[in-house]
Amino acid sequence: MFHNSELDLQYIKINNLIKNTKESFEPDDELQSHLAKYLCILCSGFLENALKITLYDFAEKRTDDDMINSFIKSQLARINNPNSKKIRETTKIFSSDFEENLNSFMQENDKSSAINYIIKDRHKIAHGKDSDITIRKIENYFKKFVEVFVYIEQDLLKNASA
């Protein structure tokens, strides 16, 4: 799925956990509810990792300068809990044209909203507040934001040698 093996492993882990949770528990099972919250946290971490790793891989392909790559990596490391706006702002640093295309792509089929819901629910869960997240919602949001990062990865790789 992803060109980066680390992202691919994270994707497989989350996807398998979603599948196993759906198969192992009834939809109204309390344990399924707790696993949905756990999956929300994993998805949020995956989202953050996907942004950092994909953009760093792109930058590394564009330059062999270790100092520049080190700077980019340090700046990307500062990104936490990236909602759709933060993702667009970060990609705009690399290319304003790409950010415009990404913005249009993210608006299709509520992909932008899916990212924002994952981050919003992650905050609620992390701070002990109630969350109505379910396995079905997680599965839906996960599919949508994976589409976003596959798009980012493919588009950036296409332009990496430009």
In the chain, the percentage of residues whose pLDDT exceeds 70 is 98
Q: How far is CA 15 from CA 34, 75, 77, 87, 155, in A?
A: 17, 29, 25, 22, 23
In the chain, the percentage of residues whose pLDDT exceeds 90 is 77
Q: How many CB atoms sit inside 10 A of residue 9's CB? A: 11
Domain range enclosing 153: 5-159
pTM (predicted TM-score): 0.91
The CATH number that applies at residue 17 is 1.20.120
Q: What is the pLDDT of residue 160?
A: 63
**Banded pLDDT at 95 (limits 50, 70, 90):** confident
120 Cβ partners below 8 Å, 6+ apart? 83
- Mean pLDDT for the stretch of residues 128-132: 94
52, containing H or E segment? helix 30-62
Q: How many CB atoms sit inside 10 A of residue 64's CB? A: 8
Q: How many domains does the chain have?
A: 1
Tell me the pLDDT tens digit for each residue of 133-159. 999 999 999 999 999 999 998 887 777
